[in-house]
Amino acid sequence: MIFDFLNIKPKDAVYISADQLRAQIVSILVAVNVPKEHALITADILVMANLRGVDTHGVANLLEYIPMIRSGEYTIPQKIHVLQETVSTALMTNGNGLGFVGAYYAMQLAIEKAKNTGVGQVAVRDGRHIGMVAYYPMMALKHEMIGMAVTNGSRSVRPALGARPRIGTNPIAFAAPAGKERPFILDMATSTVSGRKIELAYLLGVPIPEGWVVDSKGKPIRNPPFKRNENWSQNPLGNTIEQGGHKGYGLAVMIDILAGVLSGGGFSAKFKFGQNMTWVMAIDISKFRPVTKFKKMMDNMINELHLTPPEKGAERVLVAGDPEADVYDVRIKNGIPMHRTQVTELDSLAKEVGIISTLSK
């Protein structure tokens, strides 16, 4: 968890309930002319990221989005509509507005198509940052479906053997339901870490682990850089060829194809900062086999993994989604921890858009 990695001291943490955060975000977004329906979608996705411990993709990002909305860089209100579709596929435009909204409607449409055909796929162009990518596959879980989502972004990662950034962190997320066990929820960047962790480390003045970032000669950087440029790059997942860096690189290009080339929205090397195209898929399990039998086998598989004897020093073997679910269980009861400076900045943002902040009360 980034909160643990940055070692925020308890005295600097302010605990705020999820409901309070959602209400504040909705108020701020509506104040800058975002339709309430879109504001509710955006707020839920941002708060869910915080609830699951993915703080780099949580409500603090509002500090970035609002200036872009007010400057006109985002088109608000955005016009989302289907450009082309078949019974099982669709191409949508996000209308250059909040990326969360287009990705949310895309997954809704994919789910509806999956109910009819077994598999639904939707690509989104004219997109923006969609936050925690796992949110969208998790939507499919509520319908006893498997969900998947990918998104590409502007270049910040070097190709394997490359000396300059040419691909995005291009994350992939996948979710499958289980029975008694928690669902399997994988959410990962195809770079060593997400770019947001480097940004947050810079803002808080903490060093980053060796292997996250290199300069143009391939030398590791420990002090987090401020802005993206050609003089430094993030590493693809695996780092070097010997460690499997070509695999992270290959996955990133695959996502560029699914999200960017398939939608016609473009690929990472040509993007401006903030552009993100998306592709989502929903699979109706019942069209393959009974859902109860699928979930029972999922339980057996996950249980076998959990029962694996841990290595020395480890408490237990985890499955993708376990750490986030553990954090969620704590935060839904105790509130979401935010750094005092972030709360102050959000208070100031509320004042700037002409509303009263409730976070410090």
pLDDT (tens digit per residue) in 256-299: 999 999 999 999 999 988 899 999 999 999 999 999 999 999 99
Residue 7 confidence (pLDDT) above 70? no
Residue 359 lies in a domain: no
Mean pLDDT is lowest, of 28-32, 201-205, 318-322, for: 201-205
Given a cut of 90, whether residue 341 has pLDDT beyond it is: no
Q: Is residue 111 part of a domain?
A: yes
For residue 309, being part of any structural domain is answered with yes
Q: Name the nearest CA neighbour of 155 among 268, 74, 59.
A: 268
How does residue 111 score in pLDDT terms, banded at 50, 70 and 90? very high
More confident site: 145 or 60: 145
Distance CA 61, CA 28 (A): 13
Spatial CB neighbours of 356, under 8 Å, sequence gap ≥ 6: 350
User: Based on the structure, what is the number of domains in the chain?
Assistant: 1
**Domain membership flag for residue 361:** no
Rounded distance between C-alpha atoms, residue 128 and residue 130, angstroms: 6
Q: What pLDDT is attached to residue 300?
A: 98
Q: Which residue in this structure is represented by tokens 């499958």?
A: 176
HSE-up of 108 (CA within 13 Å, CB side)?
A: 11
- Give the global pTM: 0.93
Q: Please provide the average confidence, as pLDDT, over all residues in the chain.
A: 93
Assess if residue 118 is contained within a domain: yes
CB distance 298 to 290 below 8 Å: no
Beta carbons within 8 Å of 299's beta carbon, 6+ residues apart: 178, 179, 180, 181
pLDDT at 1 over 50: no
User: pLDDT band at 340, cuts 50/70/90?
Assistant: confident
**Closest alpha carbon to 185 in 139, 134, 133, 149:** 134
Residue 331 in domain? no
pLDDT at 360: 72
Q: Residue 241: inside a domain, yes or no?
A: yes
Q: Say which DSSP state 76 is in.
A: S
Confidence grade of residue 184 (pLDDT, cut at 50, 70, 90): very high
Q: What is the CATH number of the domain that holds 95?
A: 3.30.1370.60
Give yes or no for residue 4 having a pLDDT over 50. no
Residue numbers of the domain that contains 299:
2-326+337-352
Minimal CA–CA distance to 249: which of 186, 164, 161, 320?
161
Peptide bond into 77 cis (omega under 30): yes
CB atoms within 10 A of CB 83: 14
Inform me whether the pLDDT recorded for 93 exceeds 50.
yes
- 224 has pLDDT over 50: yes
| Three-state secondary structure call for residue 282 | strand
